[in-house]
Amino acid sequence: MLMKIKTILACILAGLLGSVGQAGAQTAAPVQGAALAGCQYTAWTRGVNYPLGAIVLYQANGRFYKVVNVGSNGSDGTDPTISSWYWAPTTCDAGSPPPAGGGNFVVSRATFDQMFPTRNAFYTYDGLIAALKKYPEFATEPDQAVARQEAAAFLANVSHETSGLVYIREVNQANWDKYCSTGNCGGKLYYGRGPMQLSWDYNYKTAGIALGLDLLGNPDWVATNAAIAWETALWFWMTQSGAGRMTPHQAMSTGQGFGETIRSINGALECNGGNAAERQDRIDTYKRFTGLLGTSVGGGNIGC
């Protein structure tokens, strides 16, 4: 009987020790960061400069990383698995990537690819989707036809400005130092960059204030960070009237017509009998994009 009791006690003790060992193993497991419920992330792309707080999926190892420090150009194109100063491991709900179709955005990833088959890799669809968070009123009109027309109008204009999202920086480098309104910009250059070719020091300053970014001090962010580049284009579209009478967003959402977006963006050169070839290129691209989105060109004036 004594031997039997000893055997039972030994089994119980072994079980307790095993439980403690398992608990210890769980406690010692490496923590990759606090889980972020419903977080948004993009697949990490080499050479892209991500802003502070951005979360990426490093597809080679299936892990998530968050930008915790930034340099002069966001994450400065660094690799999350190498540059621990810029990046920290984190976790992210696996079910919350940016939706493949762009969520509620009326232009799907597949259609975007059709619109810009030869685009520069810098101009990512994910960058555009991220930028839309800054301006949730863009292309979200209750009338789906109007929403699609606005998206087509915006993308047609940026296509014209960048030759199909090919060029990131203004092509004519001879003009790069000519966009300083004060005559002394401390060596900074404010030539055209990004989808809407943002130019002039005062536009970089105003856009930066609106977006919460120091673009006056760091103008090249517009050419090195896809989300910021798209944000500046949307900033102009949603808030600036340029040479026109209204913002491009107002023109499309109130049925004034595509022509008014041309007037706002480059009306001084292309409207009222100006450069007909440039104007027609915008119009033709708009017609093609509305066709891809399954909608009409809408009312109002298509030209200016």
Query: How confident is the model at residue 20, as a pLDDT?
Result: 32
For residues 231-250, give the mean pLDDT: 96
> What value does the mean pLDDT of the chain take?
83
Residue 18 has pLDDT above 50, yes or no: no
Query: How confident is the model at residue 91, as a pLDDT?
Result: 78
Nearest to 214 by CA among 14, 15, 51, 9: 51
Active site residues: 161
Query: How confident is the model at residue 58, as a pLDDT?
Result: 73
The residues facing 299 across adjacent strands are: none
Residue 78 has pLDDT above 90, yes or no: no
Of the pLDDT bands very low, low, confident and very high (cuts 50, 70, 90), residue 13 is very low
Residue 99 has pLDDT above 60, yes or no: no
Nearest to 250 by CA among 152, 106, 150: 150
| DSSP strand pairing (55-58 vs 42-43) | parallel
Query: Which residue has better confidence, 214 or 87?
Result: 214
Residue 132 has pLDDT above 50, yes or no: yes
For residues 87-92, give the mean pLDDT: 81
List the structure tokens of 56.
């990426």
pTM of the model: 0.69
Residues of the chain within CATH 2.10.10.20 domain(s) are 32-97
Handedness of CA 187, 192, 193, 196 (dihedral sign): positive
For residues 36-62, give the mean pLDDT: 72
Classify domain 109-175+222-292 by CATH number.
Answer: 1.10.530.10
Residues of the chain within CATH 1.10.530.10 domain(s) are 109-175+222-292
Nearest to 231 by CA among 211, 258, 256, 255: 211
Query: How confident is the model at residue 83, as a pLDDT?
Result: 77
CATH fold of 32-97 reads Seminal Fluid Protein  PDC-109 (Domain B) (2.10.10)
